[in-house]
């Protein structure tokens, strides 16, 4: 082969490979070589309610070595035992526990998902301590379905029993929240808890842009941990809500710019774009809530796509929302 032709071919291959590298999703990484023991979920929810009522003290003592996080108490104290007996025999609590046991007979799917997610965590944050994972029955603690406490990840399985679980509506929860209380939202909820614990909210300013970018960074963190997971679960959206956001992204951005809302510090403006609810006020009832979060995520994704030199830890520590926007090259397609 002519040397000039060979040189041209080699140059072409280099250009193509570089183009592929820079056009690919920066979050599509290979974590197969990340060393991590498979995650095992400890079923406190099941083991606790399996204790025979007439052998409560002996049963609790048997569980204590495995569940000291929950049972680090004096089991010889009659008041403590009486309170535990009341909790375990309460009709409402037992209903939550029985439906949970029936719906989640095993959690292998979640163990596999968490193992992969924590491999991503370890890839981005090599020194990260992988939490021990427990499931439990909250009895209706809806505000904190997942919590990270002292390197322990706590999952209230009874907050993910689905739309058909009637106590949710009876407790006054709005439909838009009940629709998210399904198994598909557990994994993103776990990643959201990690984000909140590792990176407490950082608002260097209080305008809409600051809070949009902060919210967008958190969704990007979740996306980095579970890149292959459906986006709607990361955003707490339905399929139709996500489709609406994608189809109307340019219109939402135009509305923010044309109405000079980007640097607004008005509480009503910020609530409109970032508060939870059935939809985003000032848009159609088909719109999803928290459109500011969605737009912030798109800006952050564009920024990271154009700046491969920025690591995820650096992004999460970047407090300058204006810098992220200015260097993002963000321009939604009409």
Whether residues 155 and 233 share a domain: the answer is: no
User: Tens-digit pLDDT profile for the chain (334 aa)?
Assistant: 455 444 444 444 433 344 433 446 889 999 999 999 999 999 999 999 999 988 999 999 999 999 999 998 888 889 999 999 999 999 999 999 999 999 999 999 999 999 999 999 999 999 999 999 999 999 888 999 999 988 999 999 999 999 999 999 999 999 999 999 999 999 999 999 999 998 887 665 689 999 999 999 999 999 999 999 999 999 999 999 999 999 999 999 999 999 999 999 999 999 999 999 999 998 999 999 999 999 999 999 999 999 999 999 999 999 999 999 999 999 998 7
**End of a domain among 182, 217, 240?**
182
Phi first, then psi, for residue 146 (nearest 5°) are -135, 135
Whether residues 67 and 106 share a domain: the answer is: yes
Whether residues 215 and 322 share a domain: the answer is: yes
Whether residues 235 and 113 share a domain: the answer is: no
Angle at 125 between CA 124 and CA 126, to 5 degrees: 110
d(CA 328, CA 135): 40
What is the domain count for the chain?
2
Whether residues 299 and 168 share a domain: the answer is: no
Whether residues 92 and 178 share a domain: the answer is: yes
Whether residues 241 and 308 share a domain: the answer is: yes
8 located within any domain: no
> Which positions ≥6 away from 5 have C-beta within 8 Å?
none
75 located within any domain: yes
Whether residues 122 and 223 share a domain: the answer is: no
Task: Indicate the SS3 state at residue 43.
Answer: strand
Whether residues 114 and 160 share a domain: the answer is: yes
89 located within any domain: yes
Domain span including residue 220: 208-326
53 located within any domain: yes
Whether residues 49 and 176 share a domain: the answer is: yes
Whether residues 121 and 161 share a domain: the answer is: yes
pLDDT tens string 28-49: 999 999 999 999 999 999 999 9
């Amino acid at each position: 082969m002519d040397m000039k032709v060979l040189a041209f071919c080699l140059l072409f291959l280099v250009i193509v490979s570089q183009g592929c590298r820079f056009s690919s999703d920066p979050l599509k990484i290979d974590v197969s070589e990340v060393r991590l023991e498979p995650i095992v979920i400890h079923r406190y929810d099941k083991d606790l309610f399996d204790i025979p009522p007439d052998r409560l003290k002996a049963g609790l003592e048997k569980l204590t070595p495995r569940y000291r996080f929950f049972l680090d108490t004096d089991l010889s104290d009659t008041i403590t035992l009486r309170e535990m007996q009341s909790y375990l025999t309460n009709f409402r609590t037992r209903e939550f526990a029985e439906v949970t046991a029936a719906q989640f007979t095993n959690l292998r799917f979640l163990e596999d998902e968490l193992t992969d997610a924590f491999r991503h965590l370890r890839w981005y944050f090599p020194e990260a301590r992988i939490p021990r994972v427990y499931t439990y029955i909250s009895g209706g603690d809806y505000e904190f379905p997942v919590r990270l406490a002292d390197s322990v990840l706590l999952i209230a399985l009874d907050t993910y029993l689905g739309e058909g679980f009637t106590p949710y509506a009876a407790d006054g929860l709005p439909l838009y929240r009940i629709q998210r209380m399904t198994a598909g939202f557990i994994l993103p909820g776990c990643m959201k808890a990690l984000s909140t614990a590792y990176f407490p909210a950082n608002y260097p300013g209080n305008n809409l842009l600051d809070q949009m970018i902060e919210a967008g960074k958190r969704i990007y963190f979740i996306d980095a941990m579970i890149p292959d997971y459906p986006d709607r679960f990361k955003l707490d959206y339905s399929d139709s809500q996500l489709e609406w956001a994608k189809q109307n992204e340019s219109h939402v951005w135009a509305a923010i710019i044309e109405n000079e809302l980007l640097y607004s510090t008005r509480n009503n403006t910020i609530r409109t774009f970032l508060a939870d609810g059935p939809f985003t006020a000032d848009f159609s009832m088909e719109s999803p809530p928290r459109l500011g979060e969605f737009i912030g995520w798109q800006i952050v994704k564009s920024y990271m796509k154009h700046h491969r030199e920025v690591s995820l830890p650096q992004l999460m520590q970047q407090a300058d929302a204006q810098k992220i926007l200015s260097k993002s090259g963000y321009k939604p397609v009409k």
